[in-house]
Structure 1
């Protein structure tokens, strides 16, 4: 098979259409010229897989046996970590995308910088405020205790 496409003029293409189709079926590309100027290209059509039945792709796919191994997953995640994006599809339709998380700055850091919040100074869990409407809890005393704890 040559690397350069074969040319036919329109008249010869009409006469030898079946021959042109045979060549195209073998993978060749044919150019049709009108008065020496290329006007059309005849190329092989990509054949789609018949995916209507279970096993219709049997023997046509090469899926490595370790496709779901931790090492393969690590390689995929390393690609994302390095800036790559992985698109996940379901029957050819995109359903999710793995993208790198921007770690430039956290939302908290942005809010602190803007002066809208104060960064936490202590460690540990944040106590929940008293439940409103609970008659057994002195809300004012609970809030005063929380403030005193913050100040110390």
Structure 2
């Protein structure tokens, strides 16, 4: 199910997953983009939505672990003022492990959209990790691969 993006305020990076119930349910991300980039990018003075489509599945594994897959996942950003769109594939997987201290270790492999307090709202391709405890980041995004700020896709 899609997760509402939120500001980079110490909360875990947001993973945007396709919704099998309503895959075309757009999220208005204009406020998020303005908060992240508005001062530096006055050309963001328009509304954007994000629609995610494709399948996703969460697979529970032994040892408080999960794999979240999204084969065929796509994210479409739409400029509501011009109608222009940018579509990217987000077919990556997430692997989670929760330890006895309730710290969740996340691993993203492949292509995914993430929101991180330091990296911002990004499209990643590769292997990236982060941890959270009780919904608060304890280690920010790190890893190997390509990180593309979403703003670079839209301008």
TM-score calculated relative to the size of structure 2? 0.16
Higher helix share: 1
Larger radius of gyration: 1
Higher strand share: 2
Q: Greater RCO between the two (CA within 8 Å, min separation 6)?
A: 2
